[in-house]
């Protein structure tokens, strides 16, 4: 089985409601769709989501597609998609960084190989270790009353974990929001995510204020480059600190461990470059006694399925996940609905990633045209 063509397109999908983060307010997501076709008639699907263009990371939908079309896809035509490590190494030599682009391609290889062999992707990643993952829902409207109403709605669907986005308001306003939710719902599992929204001094001051609200963790309180600042926050408070934007490569994982900057790792396929590099990050976390949480970039049902296959094959993902993309997006591009039940997201055992494209919806949301590299 050899790759004989790679197709790419950009889609714009709207959200059901604005998603307010410290860096920007998200109202739609840029989806880069990748379709890998093989000489024996199989098709593999992958995607990468860019939040806020090149705001969350250096990559945007346009740069992801361009990198794949011009610099990666031409070197992958004629290759065997089942040679995962060979292709990963080939991409690393061809292009520096650009992990979102690499993830979309790697996702499609795993999908096509799973389909060709008639097995789910989690069997290519080590096998099923857990069949469901606890779900976290992000409260991100900055309106305490609206956030409480949203939390109560999701609590009726099961034991959801809740994570509050902070950093876009003044620290006192954010602390008041957290206090309000904690006092209104004292029994819930609650976390906060600053998305790099504080400088070191603000992070130290605000994190100490939040210490009293029994949070599971405080996520990325300082800019991603300030590992020393994150270590200072971690040392100053009782609440665990989670690294997200500071954790993109296995080298980042090593630095976080050495600096004692985080006791939780936030894993995301796209920022790491795919399944294989995420497994490397998790191995470092396990060696250091660090627990893992699975984040998201507000993926469609396609990307959500890929993240889920990684999670259910990885025992270290024990603090839940936020694979809520299909719940927050106003529409989807796959036919099979993501399965949620009693506060969990459920694995699927269909071959590959277990999803197929809804061509009508793809056509509805496509931005520009689909390009083919042969």
84: helix, strand or coil: helix
Look up 65 and say whether it is catalytic: no
Measured distance CA(305)–CA(303) in Å, rounded: 5
Number of Cβ within 10 Å of residue 330's Cβ equals: 10
Whose tokens are 């929204």? That residue is 197
Catalytic residue among 65, 163, 165, 271: 165
Number of Cβ within 10 Å of residue 127's Cβ equals: 11
CB 30 within 8 A of CB 53: yes
Handedness of CA 160, 48, 352, 358 (dihedral sign): positive
- What letter does residue 211 receive in the DSSP assignment? G
Taking only Cα atoms into account, the Rg of the chain, rounded to an integer number of angstroms, comes to: 20
**Where does residue 346 fall: left (phi above 0), alpha (psi -120 to 50 degrees), or beta otherwise?**
beta
- Closest by alpha carbon to 294, among 247, 333, 251? 247
**In a 10 Å sphere around its CB, with 0-12 CB exposed, 13-18 middle and 19+ buried, how is residue 190 labelled?**
buried
Look up 322 and say whether it is catalytic: yes
Q: Distance of CA 170 to CAs 176, 184, 273, Å?
A: 10, 21, 34
Query: Between β-strands 366-373 and 3-20, what pairing exists: parallel, antiparallel or unpaired?
Result: antiparallel
23: helix, strand or coil: coil
Structure tokens at 105: 């391609």
Separation of CA 248 from chain center: 11
Residues designated catalytic: 165, 322
């Amino acid at each position: 089985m050899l790759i004989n063509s790679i197709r790419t397109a950009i889609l714009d999908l709207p959200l059901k409601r604005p998603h307010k983060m410290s860096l920007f307010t998200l109202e739609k997501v840029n989806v880069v769709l990748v379709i890998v076709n093989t000489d024996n008639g199989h098709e593999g699907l992958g995607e990468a989501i860019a939040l806020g263009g090149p705001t969350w990371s250096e990559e945007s939908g346009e740069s992801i597609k361009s990198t794949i079309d011009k610099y990666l896809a031409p070197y992958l035509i004629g290759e065997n998609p089942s040679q995962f490590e060979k292709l990963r190494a080939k991409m690393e030599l061809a292009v520096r960084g650009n992990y979102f682009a690499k993830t979309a391609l790697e996702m499609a290889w795993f999908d096509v190989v799973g389909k060709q062999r008639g097995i789910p992707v989690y069997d290519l990643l080590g096998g099923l270790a857990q069949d469901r993952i606890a779900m976290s829902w992000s409260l991100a409207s900055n309106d305490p009353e609206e956030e409480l109403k949203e939390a109560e709605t999701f609590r009726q669907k099961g034991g959801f974990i809740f994570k509050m986005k902070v950093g876009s308001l003044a620290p006192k306003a954010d602390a008041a929001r957290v206090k309000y939710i904690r006092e209104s719902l004292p029994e819930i599992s609650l976390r906060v995510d600053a998305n790099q929204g504080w400088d070191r001094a603000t992070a130290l001051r605000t994190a100490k204020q939040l210490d009293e609200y029994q949070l599971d963790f405080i996520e990325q309180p300082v800019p991603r480059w300030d590992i020393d600042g994150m270590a200072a926050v971690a040392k100053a408070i009782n609440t665990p600190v989670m690294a997200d934007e500071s954790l993109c490569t296995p080298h980042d994982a090593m630095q976080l461990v050495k600096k004692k900057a985080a006791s939780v790792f936030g894993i995301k396929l796209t920022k790491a470059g795919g399944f294989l590099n995420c497994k490397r990050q998790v191995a470092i976390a396990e060696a250091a006694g660090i627990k893992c949480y699975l984040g998201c970039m507000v993926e469609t049902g396609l990307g959500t399925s890929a993240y889920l296959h990684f999670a259910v094959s990885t025992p270290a993902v024990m603090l839940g996940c936020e694979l809520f993309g299909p719940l927050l997006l106003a529409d989807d591009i796959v036919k099979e609905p993501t399965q949620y039940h009693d506060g969990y997201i459920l694995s699927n055992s269909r071959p590959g990633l277990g999803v197929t494209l809804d061509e009508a919806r793809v056509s509805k949301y496509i931005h520009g045209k689909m390009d083919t590299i042969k």
